[in-house]
Amino acid sequence: MEDIKTLIDKEIDNLKEDIIATTAQLIKIKSVEDKPQEGMPFGKGVNDALVFCEKLCQKLGFETKNFDGYALEARFGEQSEDVCVIGHLDVVPEGEGWNVPPYEGVIKDGKIYGRGAIDDKGPTVAALYGMYVVKKLAEEGKISLDRSLRFVFGTNEESGSKCLQYYFKRAEYPTVGFTPDADFPVIQGEKGFLVFELSKNIDGNFYLEGGERPNMVPDRCTFKGSFDIQRAKDIVSKKSLEGKTEIYEEDGMTVIKTKGISAHGSLPFKGENAISYMFDILQELYEKEDEFKRFIEFYNKHIGYDVFGKNLNIGFEDQKSGKLVLNAGMVRKVDDKIVLTINIRYPVDTKYEDIEREIKSVIEEYEIDYKLITDMPPLYFEKDHFLIKTLLDVYKEFTGDDSKPLVIGGGTYARWAKNVVAFGPNMPGDEEVAHQKDEYITIDRLLMCAKIYANAIYRLSKKD
C-alpha cells in the first residue's frame, strides 16, 4: 500500500485545477469591510465571500454552520477532540498603483494576482482542499482519524478579529490547529498588537487625510490649505521629495499629495510612509504658531521616519522576538481635532503598561490625548510544544529546510483561538507582498501549501 504522504500528494495533484480556479474566484469577491447590513456584520462583500465558501464546503461534503455572518464552520467526524484550521476571508483595501486589476484573480507567469492572494484567500483555499483530501481518504478507509476535522472561516481578521471573538463565545476552542496566515517553518510567537489614537484640539481651515488602515503603511496623504504654491514646491525640492509629491491648485486652495509605498503594518521598514513625508513638508510650510504647529513638531520629533519607537521612548526589544515596530497608519482632521492612529507590534517580554506610560510622558508636553483602541498581548509557545514540533517536522519533510521556529510582528487568529499557531504560507526569503500592490501567490506555492497542510492536518489528527 502507498504511504500516506504519497496518497495525499496524488489527491492534491488531481485537484490542481480546482484549487487554482477556486482561489481566483474567491479573489474576485471584493471582501473589504464595509457598512453592516442585516445578517452581514462586516458588509456585503465580506458576506459574499462567506457564502461562496459555505457553498463550496457543502459541495465538498462538509457539514456547515453559519454563525450570523461572523464566521462559517465546516465539520467532518464525530470525535470529541478535533483538528481546526482557521482562515480569514476579509482583505485590506487595495490601495493604489496596481499593475493588474486587484479583484479579477488574474493568472499569469505562474502566479495568481489579486488582493488576498497570499493574505489569506490562497492559503485558506489550499488548507481547505488539504482538509478535504484528508476527509476523502478517511471516508475511503485509506486512513483513520483520532480527531474530527473543523475548518473555520473568519471575516474580520484585518480589523480586530471581532468575528472570532463572536464565534468562540458560541463554539468550543480547538484541541489543536493552525492558521495559514503567516510564515513557514512555523510561528511559535507573535508580538503584542497595539492600536491607539493620539489626538489634539486644533484650529485652522485646512484638510488633512492619509492612510486607510492602522495595519497598513500609508501610501497616500493629502493636505489642502491656503498657502503659496511656489513656496510649497521650493520646500519639496529642498527636501528632495519631488518624486513623492504632487502639488496643484483646486477650488482656490493649494493641494499637496504625498505618495508612499504600502506594506504590512508589522513590516513598516519595507514601505514608505506618506504621512511622514507630509509632516516633513509641513514642518517648514505651516508657519502659523498654533496647536497644529505643535502637533507637527511632535510628529517630526517623536515619530518622523522612525519605525522602532525610539523617538517616542518605546524602543523596547528582547532576545525572543526582537524590536518593537511602529506604524503611523492613519491621520485625519476631524472637525476641530487632529487624530493620528498608530499600530505597534511589541516584544513578547514587554508589557503594555510600560508602553502606555512612556508614550503619555512624551505627549503630555504637547497636550495630546491618548486613546487605546486595541491591545492584544503577545503569544508564545515553547519550541518543544507538541504543536510546534509536529508542524515543524512536516515542513522539514517537504523542504529539507532546518530553519528554526519564528516569532513575528504580525498578528493572526492564533491570538483568539487557544491551541492554535500560524503556519505558512510564506517561505524563508520570499518577497513580502501582503498588503501591497500586485499581491500574488505562485501556483507552485499554492499547491505545495495544500500538500503541506493536508499532511499536517493528518498528523495532528493522530493522538500518538
Please identify every residue annotated as catalytic.
Answer: 90, 157
Helix (H, G, I), strand (E, B) or coil at 73: strand
CB atoms within 10 A of CB 324: 25
- Grid cell at residue 349: 517580554
Given the C-alpha cell 486512513, which residue does it identify? 143
Distance CA 357, CA 19 (A): 49
The closest of 362, 285, 281 to 326, measured between CA atoms, is 362
Q: How many residues does the chain have?
A: 464
Give bridge partners of residue 64 from the DSSP assignment: 74
**With the C-alpha atoms ordered 403, 407, 408, 414, is the resulting torsion angle positive or negative?**
positive
Place of cell 510544544: 385
The H or E element that residue 14 is part of is helix 4-14
Cell readout for 275 is 504621512
Other C-beta atoms lying within 10 Å of the C-beta of residue 58? 12
Q: CA–CA separation, 352 vs 346, rounded Å?
A: 8
**Position of cell 455572518?**
69
Query: Could you give the count of Cα atoms lying within 13 Å of 416 in the half-sphere of its Cβ?
Result: 25
Contacts of 109 (CB under 8 A, 6+ apart): none
Residues in contact with 271: Cβ distance below 8 Å, sequence separation at least 6, in sequence order? 217, 219, 260, 261, 262, 263, 436
Determine the 3-state secondary structure of 197 from DSSP: strand
**What's at 183, amino acid-wise?**
D
What's the Cα-to-Cα distance from 373 to each of 302, 344, 459, rounded to whole Å? 20, 12, 39
| Range list of H helices, 286-419 | 291-302, 352-363, 386-399
Cross-strand partners of 190: 379, 408
**3-state secondary structure at position 424:** coil
**Rounded distance between C-alpha atoms, residue 118 and residue 112, angstroms:** 9
